[in-house]
């Protein structure tokens, strides 16, 4: 308090004293305002983050589509060779049928490019699943190509010069006609969840990434949950305080702070390089993630074990239980809600982890969902990374939508953890 000098005469009511007090109170108010401003800034930035993701992502939850009446003629699709049928021509003809006007060659090309190049594959998949469709007329909801999709959603504006947008005036003319006939609709985009990745933004979905993330998290859980609990019980209930247990403890605390990319290097060098496990596999991804989750689970489990009051242990010892019996019959069940909460939070962290998965190759372009633990796969965050890197404009909305899906999963997992903590945890 050296800065506050006391005048000789202690006249606390003088004008100068009053001003001094006012200045000091003003400084106090400023401090309070700075604090509020900092909190406001942090929360505001969080809001900007979420709002910008929602604004750019919500359009990807619907998809612009037109209904096509496709006649699967046996000339184009031979019943004995369904795989190699000329589905492209069938879909083109059906799409041309929607617009019964004279077109020049270039107009026809412009018109046909309005339909997604993936539409024939939709038809092929339908016919492969049900070969009896050959010779019949099938209605498929074919997605429009990405530029038209964005034009319909208003992301590509109508009132800019033609050379500055990827939709030309001819296409807009046809588009307006299709809209006038009520053919263009925007149903909910289930393909986002149930289709695998694709080069075409209008077809790309998260199915492969969701399955890959599920497998990786499953492996991560199967390894880190039992190992983490066992290690924590040992350290908390059994280990004598000596150099070894100190070493393990320091180790665990340091592991929790090692950058995630270093775990990726470990996985690359040891799991892929030394043991020769397959690249891009959810098995390896899960193993790397489990090493990262382990410290979280161990620390949470130890905290939960510590929270069980010693009287429980002493009572159990008193009636002749062995140390193992005390732990397994009494302490562990009481600590379980806390352990589960920590585990779910650890798994939620693992779900969002990207860098180590990139290093072990879980960012491959894979057009089918993985069928097993050793199939090449992507995971949700790596899929976001792949899409964010894609040059097509349509992937911007897809990326934001995928992020919203990922955040949705994280919210669900954390909500479960909070629920467990509040409902099941006992207060002593």
Partner 1 sequence: MLELVILILLVLCAFGYLMARSRAVALATQAGVRNHSLPAYHGAFVALWVGLPAFFLALIWLLLQDSVIDQMILASLPADMIAGLDASRESLIISEIRSIAGGQVFGQPEPAVLDAAARLNTWASLAGWAMVAACTCLALAALVVTRRKLSPSFRARHGVERIMDVLMIACAVVAILTTLGIVVSLLFEAYRFFERVPVTEFLFGLNWEPQIAIRADQVAGQGAFGAVPVFLGTLVIAFLAMLVAVPVGLLSAIYLAEYSGPRFRNSVKPILEILAGIPTVVYGFFAVLTVAPAMRSFGASIGLDVAPNSALAAGGVMGIMIIPFISSLSDDALNAVPRSLRDGSYAMGATKAETIKQVLLPAALPGIMGGVLLALSRAIGETMIVVMAAGLIAKMNINPLDSVTTVTVQIVTLLIGDTEFDNPKTLAAFALGLVLFLVTLALNVVALRIVQKYREKYD
Interacting residues with partner 1 between 275 and 314 (CB under 8 A)? 275-276, 291, 294-295, 298
The Cα–Cα gap between 242 and 249 comes to 11
Strand pairing partners for 271? none
Closest CB to partner 1 among 120 and 346? 346
- Given 7, 67, 273, 333, the residue binding partner 1 (CB under 8 A): 273
Mark the segment that binds partner 1 (CB under 8 A) among 70-78, 189-197, 274-282, 333-341.
274-282
- Given 133, 138, 388, 416, the residue binding partner 1 (CB under 8 A): 388
What character string, x for contact with partner 1 (CB under 8 A) and - otherwise, covers 126-155? ------------------------------
Closest CB to partner 1 among 190 and 419? 419
Residues 347-366 that bind partner 1 (CB under 8 A): 348-349, 351-355, 358-359, 363
Closest CB to partner 1 among 39 and 424? 39
3-state SS of 387-418?
A: HHHCCCCHHHHHHHHHHHHHHHHHHHHHHHHH
- Given 407, 416, 421, 425, the residue binding partner 1 (CB under 8 A): 407
The Cα–Cα gap between 71 and 135 comes to 7
The Cα–Cα gap between 52 and 58 comes to 10
425 φψ region: left (φ > 0), alpha (ψ -120 to 50), beta (else): beta
Residue 235 makes CB contacts below 8 A (sequence gap 6+) with: 245, 248, 249, 298, 302
Least separation in angstroms between CB 268 and partner 1: 7
DSSP 324-350: HHIIIIIIHHHHHHHHHHHHHHHHHHH
378 φψ region: left (φ > 0), alpha (ψ -120 to 50), beta (else): beta
400 in contact with partner 1 (CB under 8 A): yes
Mark the segment that binds partner 1 (CB under 8 A) among 69-77, 174-182, 308-316, 404-412.
404-412
378 in contact with partner 1 (CB under 8 A): no
Structure tokens at 117: 């190049």
Closest CB to partner 1 among 334 and 404? 404
Residues 152-171 that bind partner 1 (CB under 8 A): none
Least separation in angstroms between CB 52 and partner 1: 5
- Given 42, 128, 412, 424, the residue binding partner 1 (CB under 8 A): 42
Structure-derived torsion over alpha carbons of residues 308, 219, 234, 274, reported in degrees to the nearest 10 = -160
252 in contact with partner 1 (CB under 8 A): yes
- Given 60, 263, 343, 369, the residue binding partner 1 (CB under 8 A): 263
56 φψ region: left (φ > 0), alpha (ψ -120 to 50), beta (else): alpha
- Given 18, 324, 329, 426, the residue binding partner 1 (CB under 8 A): 324
The Cα–Cα gap between 249 and 202 comes to 50
Least separation in angstroms between CB 232 and partner 1: 8
**Strand, coil or helix: 68:** strand
Closest CB to partner 1 among 170 and 340? 340
Burial category of 218 from C-beta neighbours within 10 Å (exposed 0-12, middle 13-18, buried 19 and up): middle
Closest CB to partner 1 among 69 and 325? 325
Show the CA angle centred on residue 128, arms to residues 122 and 134, nearest 5°: 95
Closest CB to partner 1 among 222 and 424? 222
Residues 1-30 that bind partner 1 (CB under 8 A): 1, 24-25, 27-28, 30
What character string, x for contact with partner 1 (CB under 8 A) and - otherwise, covers 53-72? x--x----------------
408 in contact with partner 1 (CB under 8 A): no
Least separation in angstroms between CB 135 and partner 1: 33
Residues 191-250 that bind partner 1 (CB under 8 A): 226-228, 230-231, 233-235, 238-239, 247-248
In angstroms, the Cα distances linking 358 to 35, 162, 288, 354, 396 are 39, 40, 11, 6, 20
The Cα–Cα gap between 407 and 413 comes to 10
């Amino acid at each position: 308090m050296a800065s506050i000098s006391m005048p000789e005469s202690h006249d606390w009511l003088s004008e100068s004293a009053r001003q001094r007090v006012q200045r000091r109170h003003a400084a106090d108010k400023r401090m309070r305002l700075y604090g509020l401003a900092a909190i406001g800034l942090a929360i505001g930035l969080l809001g900007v983050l979420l709002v910008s993701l929602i604004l750019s992502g919500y359009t990807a939850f619907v998809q612009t589509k037109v209904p096509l009446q496709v006649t699967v003629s046996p000339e184009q699709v031979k019943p004995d060779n369904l795989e190699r049928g000329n589905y492209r021509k069938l879909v083109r003809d059906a799409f041309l049928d929607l617009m019964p006007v004279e077109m020049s060659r270039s107009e026809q090309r412009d018109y046909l490019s309005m339909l997604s190049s993936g539409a024939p594959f939709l038809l092929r998949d339908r016919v492969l699943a049900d070969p009896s469709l050959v010779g019949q007329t099938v209605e498929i909801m074919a997605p429009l190509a990405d530029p038209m999709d964005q034009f319909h959603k208003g992301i590509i504006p109508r009132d800019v010069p033609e050379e500055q947008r990827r939709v030309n005036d001819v296409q807009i003319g046809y588009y307006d006609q299709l809209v006038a006939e009520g053919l263009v609709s925007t149903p909910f985009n289930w393909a986002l969840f149930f289709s695998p990745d694709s080069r075409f933004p209008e077809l790309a979905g998260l199915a492969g990434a969701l399955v890959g993330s599920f497998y990786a998290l499953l492996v991560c859980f199967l390894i880190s949950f039992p190992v983490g609990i066992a290690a924590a019980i040992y350290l908390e209930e059994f280990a004598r305080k000596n150099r070894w247990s100190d070493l393990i403890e320091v180790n665990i605390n340091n592991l929790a702070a090692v950058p995630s990319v270093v775990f990726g290097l470990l996985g690359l060098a040891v799991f892929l390089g030394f043991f020769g496990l397959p690249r891009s596999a959810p098995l390896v991804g899960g193993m790397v993630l489990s090493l990262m989750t382990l410290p979280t689970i161990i620390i949470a489990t130890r905290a939960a074990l510590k929270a069980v009051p010693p009287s429980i242990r002493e009572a159990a010892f008193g009636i002749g239980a062995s140390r193992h019996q005390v732990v397994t019959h009494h302490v562990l069940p009481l600590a379980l809600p806390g352990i589960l909460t920590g585990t779910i939070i650890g798994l939620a962290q693992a779900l969002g982890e990207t860098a180590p998965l990139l290093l072990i190759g879980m960012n491959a372009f894979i057009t089918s969902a993985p069928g097993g633990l050793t199939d090449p796969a992507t995971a949700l965050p790596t899929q976001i990374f792949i899409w964010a890197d894609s040059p097509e404009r349509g992937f911007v909305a897809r990326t934001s939508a995928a992020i919203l899906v990922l955040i949705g999963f994280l919210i669900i997992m954390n909500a479960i953890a909070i629920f467990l903590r509040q409902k099941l945890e006992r207060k002593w």
